[in-house]
């Protein structure tokens, strides 16, 4: 139980980091696109997003993955597809930054925030929804540990 709670703490910190990085600084990047049209990888909001937030997501995600893989039997037996999608998707935003800035520099593509060069961010961002699959695995293990009638006893009180 203690290790499952630690994993949940990893996932909460991971989710808060995603919320912090994607809601504040990525939205600032969208505003920059709408007002200044062209940005660079050294635009103030991009510095925080690309060089602090995205690597932070990757480090916390990999830390949670390896914690689960080395400390929890349910994850040690094999690879959880949900966990792999979560970690790989969040990590792949980093190379997508390079592709995005390279495309803007050499192809002179439209700087609209919904342009094709930005689709990778959306695709890999959606992969963070795999955290719900990881949570389902944790809840299934909790049910095994507490017994099938744990919820019924909880509601009786």
Residue ranges per structural domain of the chain: 2-156
| CA dihedral angle for residue 101, residue 125, residue 34, residue 98, rounded to 10 degrees | 0
Q: Which residue has the tokens 């509601």?
A: 155
Q: Which residue has the tokens 């912090």?
A: 20
Higher pLDDT, 42 or 129: 129
Check pLDDT > 90 for residue 45: no
Check pLDDT > 90 for residue 13: yes
User: Which three-class secondary structure string do you get for 67-91?
Assistant: HHHHHCHHHHCCCCHHHHHHHHHHH
Fold of 2-156: Glutathione S-transferase Yfyf (Class Pi); Chain A, domain 2 (1.20.1050)
- Paired tokens of 155: 């509601």
* Alpha carbon separation from 110 to 47, 67, 116 (Å, rounded): 21, 42, 9
Higher pLDDT, 135 or 116: 135
- Percentage with pLDDT > 70 across the chain: 92
Give the tens place of pLDDT for each residue, 91-131.
998 898 888 888 877 776 666 666 777 788 888 888 989 99
Q: Can you give the pLDDT at residue 108?
A: 61
């Amino acid at each position: 139980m203690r290790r499952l709670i630690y994993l949940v703490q990893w996932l909460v910190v991971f989710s808060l980091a995603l919320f912090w990085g994607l809601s504040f600084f990525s939205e600032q990047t969208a505003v920059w696109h709408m007002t200044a049209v062209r940005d660079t990888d050294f635009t103030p909001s991009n510095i925080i997003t690309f060089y602090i937030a995205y690597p932070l997501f990757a480090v916390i995600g990999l830390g949670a993955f390896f914690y689960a893989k080395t400390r929890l039997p349910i994850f040690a037996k094999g690879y959880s597809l949900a966990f792999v999608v979560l970690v790989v998707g969040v990590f792949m935003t980093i190379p997508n930054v390079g592709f995005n800035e390279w495309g803007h520099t050499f192809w002179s593509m439209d700087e609209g925030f919904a342009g094709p060069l930005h689709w990778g961010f959306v695709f890999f961002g959606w992969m963070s929804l795999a955290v719900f699959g990881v949570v389902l695995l944790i809840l299934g293990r909790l049910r095994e540990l507490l017994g099938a009638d744990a919820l019924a006893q909880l509601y009786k009180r």
